[in-house]
Amino acid sequence: MSKRVFLIVLDSFGIGAMPDADLYSDAGANTLRSVTSSSLLDIPIMTSMGLYNIEGVELGHRVNAPTASYARLIEKSNGKDTTVGHWEIAGVISPRPLPTYPHGFPDDFIEAFEEAVDRKTVCNRPYSGTDVLMKYGEYHMMTGDLIVYTSADSVFQIAAHEEIVPLQELYNICQTARDMLTASGDHAVGRVIARPFLGDHSINFHRTSNRHDYSLAPPRKTMLDYISESGLDTIGIGKIYDIFAGQGVTETIKTKNNDDGIRKIYELLTRDFSGLAFINLVDFDMVYGHRNDIDGYAKALSHFDKNLSGMIDALRDDDILIITADHGCDPGHIQSTDHSREYVPMLIYGAPINSQVNLGTRESFADVASTICEYLKISADIDGTSFLKDVAK
């Protein structure tokens, strides 16, 4: 029977501040703690798997016989963004942080960009994605000027109304920005993000599901490259293809939201393939974490957990399920709506895996990639230390 690995990233589901969190203005951040404060949180499946048994998690309900094995993962890369986090999960530690722009992008770059795309820009400051539409959306509709903004992450974001700037034009503009930023060297941000929106007034502007990310390619091969080069499948669900600039992904399945992503997981569980399904569920971060919506985050986790039992039931004899995250985004961290520098959980489950193994605190997210490659019998020159021998039956 073909081996299949289902790697699910609950985007931003951190479980407590890392020791260096103060260097990122994230001292005290704890996404899990904030979410457990909500009466709407109901996650019996992840609880039974050992989520609250993880080292350093001093809340929730520990179980006597977890159904999975579990660990706390340290991010060894410098950063707390989606790109660097996923690269590390895939076996590439980034010693240098990607550039960020707390005061906006340099004037000379913005001027060159405006000339290249033949449109003016407004904003060019760190901004909440919803607040920036309230502030500049109507002006954009009157002038056609692009709303350019950033955040604490390494991103160059471009918001435009779909009826003012057609989607294909916005995508072309973002590709131009990606090419220019990469060519500049110093300004090679992790992602350029197209942020299309609709509505006719600031009170009803809303971002659409037509977002598209233009990522910097990983600096070297990830587990995706090694797995795909061996002839196995690497299927990306959600924004995986975008995060890795397509590098090493043999098939991409787009999703509109968490619900759609969960449906796509169910569909994939019924398919015959060999290799890796790498899934990102983005709503935890994009819809709830960045908006400090504790109850919304709790409901989303509960919805995932409710579906998790069905996913587990659909696993085949040689399947492995791994659940983890790429950073934190504490919805209770009222000083910030940005990502937080946190440990992340790791739960590993499947017929080939022993339950109840406490793997303690692992020194890198990259241990996940090394474990996956060893399970699939792939020789890969990547970072991380496999823990397969500790959990395999």
- Please give the domain boundaries of the chain with CATH numbers for all domains: 4-96+216-391 (3.40.720.10), 107-215 (3.30.70.1250)
DSSP state of 208: -
DSSP state of 284: I
Residue 1 confidence (pLDDT): 63
C-alpha–C-alpha distance, residues 343 and 340, integer Å? 9
Task: Please provide residue 147's backbone torsions phi and psi, each rounded to the nearest 5 degrees.
Answer: -90, 105
DSSP track, 258-291:
HHHHHHHHHHHHTS---EEEEEEE-HIIIIIITT
pTM of this structure? 0.91
CB 87 within 8 Å of CB 242: no
C-alpha–C-alpha distance, residues 230 and 124, integer Å? 44
Per-residue pLDDT of the chain (393 residues; tens, 9 = 90+): 699 999 999 999 999 999 999 999 999 999 999 999 999 999 999 999 999 999 999 999 999 999 999 999 999 999 998 999 999 999 999 988 899 999 999 999 999 999 999 999 999 999 988 899 999 999 999 999 999 999 878 999 999 999 999 999 999 999 999 999 999 988 999 999 999 999 999 889 999 989 988 989 999 999 999 999 999 999 999 999 999 999 999 999 999 899 999 999 999 999 999 999 999 999 999 899 988 999 999 999 999 999 999 999 999 999 999 999 999 999 998 777 789 999 999 999 999 999 999 999 999 999 999 999 999 999 999 999 999 999 999
Angle between helices 107-117 and 167-184 in degrees, nearest 10? 140
Beta strands in the chain (DSSP E): 4-10, 69-73, 121-126, 146-150, 155-161, 191-198, 206-207, 212-215, 233-237, 251-253, 275-281, 319-324, 344-349, 358-362
Token digits of residue 317: 């004899």
Residue 338 confidence (pLDDT): 85
Instruction: State the burial class of residue 318 (Cβ atoms within 10 Å of its Cβ: 0-12, 13-18, 19+).
Output: middle
Amino acid residing at 275: G
Token digits of residue 273: 């393939």
Amino acid residing at 351: A
Residue 152 confidence (pLDDT): 79
C-alpha–C-alpha distance, residues 30 and 85, integer Å? 17
C-alpha–C-alpha distance, residues 354 and 367, integer Å? 17
C-alpha–C-alpha distance, residues 127 and 61, integer Å? 37
C-alpha–C-alpha distance, residues 327 and 21, integer Å? 12
Token digits of residue 244: 């890795």
- With H, G, I as helix, E, B as strand and everything else as coil, classify residue 17: strand
Report CA 47 to chain centroid distance, whole Å: 22
CB 318 within 8 Å of CB 352: yes
Q: In 10 A of CB 364, how many CB atoms? A: 20
C-alpha–C-alpha distance, residues 144 and 104, integer Å? 20
Angle between helices 294-314 and 258-269 in degrees, nearest 10? 10
